[in-house]
Amino acid sequence: MKKNVLDVVQKPTLLVDLQKASANIDAMRAKAAQNNVILRPHFKTHQSARIAELYREAGITAITVSSVEMAQYFAAAGWGDILIAFPLNWREMDAVNALAGEIQLAVLVDSIESADFLTVKASHDMGVWIKVDTGLHRSGIWWQEMQSIEVLAKRIMQSSKLHLQGILTHTGQTYRANSPEAVKESAYASKQAMLEVKKYLSKQGLKDIQVSIGDTPGCRLLDDFNGADEIRPGNFIFFDLEQWQLGVCRPEEIAVAVACPIVSKNIARNELVIYGGAIHFAKETLPYKGRAIYGMVAGNPNTSFGVLQAECLLTTTTQEHGIIEVTPAVFSQYQVGDVIQLFPVHSCLTVQALGEYLEIHSGERISSMVTKRNGCS
């Protein structure tokens, strides 16, 4: 890393390596092509029109978002095929209609009530996906309740403006796995459940039902997407400690880190106190060797953050403070006033917390919809 990039850091700063991000995109795109499925990446991870251009350069044209606001942001950036993979929020129907009049928009429902609401309120053509629960138990119709899915599908098809795309699931239960093998088993079981639903619907005369699956652990580790039509991973562009612990990525593939100024040292406890707390890393923790941690030291002083210092842990965060427990050797390498880099537990939440990126090779400042929302350039 060029030393002057870290020299400009004055407060907790989100670092991004666009070269690694591009490589991660290329790897997932190649895997999708090998399996003959559409890659519709989830943009809630990076939330940046500038970073989205990396996908466009890779030939991606269809995207996933998690809110109407995010759909508006990326539509304004020129993306014309957007799926809002979040249950329809009735109170934003005016904005949904406006988007559907401008782009190829698809929304998500999991109830007759939402389908009926859409039928009455939709003023433009739009795609509709049915959310199916295959084990996450957050939203969606349980996959074995196939008659309920059939009734909902037929209700959607009665509308002249609603166009049933297919069935969709998020296999978030892979994050509960304790090994790469368990991730693959969970992802495979979820995919097979979706194929059973599709098979049932086909027998009921519902043809051309697409199957959309997606989560980074499953899409990264599962080799066979046979039967699916599209995959929607998101976190794979950056990865993070959670993905590393699951066995999904290598430390050198993690494309983001947080650079924090060191404001104090405690020699008796080998602790570094940083300007970087809960409002920068969020409160999500990772269980590691019997402890809950918020991050790990990434890299060495003035070098790239590709090297993981697995014994140097961010163990405590309050609003602005963070405490890093380090080895004596690492403790001696850093002084008050230096900048230390840490891999976050969950890159999506860290992006949400910090909003703006600093590219480690070029020094480019990269905004996101978070910085735009806060009135920053």
Note whether residue 229 is domain-resident: yes
Contacts 24+ apart (CB under 8 A), 116-120: 116/155, 117/88, 117/90, 117/93, 118/88, 118/156, 118/159, 118/162, 119/155, 119/156, 119/158, 119/159, 119/161, 119/162
In a domain, 247, yes or no: no
| Same domain for 153 and 31 | yes
Same structural domain for residues 217 and 286? no
Co-location of 304 and 218 in the same domain: no
Range of the domain at 172: 18-238
Looking at the structure, do residues 156 and 269 belong to the same domain, yes or no?
no
Residue 80 in any domain: the answer is yes
At which of 210, 238, 266 does a domain end? 238
Domain termination residue (choose one: 181, 212, 238): 238
Task: Say yes or no: 233 and 273 in one domain.
Answer: no
Q: What pTM was estimated for this model as a whole? A: 0.95
Residue 248 covered by a domain? no
CATH code for the domain in which residue 115 is found: 3.20.20.10
CA dihedral 42, 47, 51, 55 (to 10 degrees): 20
Per-residue pLDDT of the chain (377 residues; tens, 9 = 90+): 545 789 999 999 999 999 999 999 999 999 999 999 999 999 999 999 999 999 999 999 999 999 999 999 999 999 999 999 999 999 999 999 999 999 999 999 999 999 999 999 999 999 999 999 999 999 999 999 999 999 999 999 999 999 999 999 999 999 999 999 999 999 999 999 999 999 999 999 999 999 999 999 999 999 999 999 999 999 999 999 999 999 999 999 999 999 999 999 999 999 999 999 999 998 899 999 999 999 999 988 878 798 999 999 999 999 999 999 999 999 999 999 999 999 999 999 999 999 999 999 999 999 999 985 665 44
Identify the pLDDT of residue 58: 97
Gap between the Cα atoms of 261 and 273, Å rounded: 9
Q: Are 291 and 341 members of one domain?
A: yes
How many independent structural domains does the chain possess? 2
- The answer to whether position 243 is within a domain reads no
Residue 215 class from Cβ within 10 Å (0-12 exposed, 13-18 middle, 19+ buried)?
buried
Together in a domain, 259 and 221: no
Residue 262's CATH number: 2.40.37.20
Judgement on whether residues 283 and 326 belong to the same structural domain of the protein: yes
- Is 25 within 8 Å of 58 (Cβ atoms)? yes
Q: Classify residue 245: in a domain, yes or no.
A: no
* Shared-domain flag, residues 49 and 151: yes
Going from the C-alpha of 141 to that of each of 13, 149, 191, 256, 324, the distances in angstroms are 41, 7, 15, 35, 43
How far is 296 from 287, CA to CA, in rounded Å?
12
Report if residue 68 sits inside a domain: yes
- 161 assigned to some structural domain: yes
Residues 150 and 169 reside in one and the same domain: yes
Whether residues 61 and 195 share a domain: the answer is yes
42 lies in the same domain as 181? yes
Contact between residue 314 and residue 293 where contact means Cβ atoms under 8 Å apart: yes
Last residue of a domain, one of 204, 238, 272: 238
Residue 377 has what pLDDT? Answer: 44
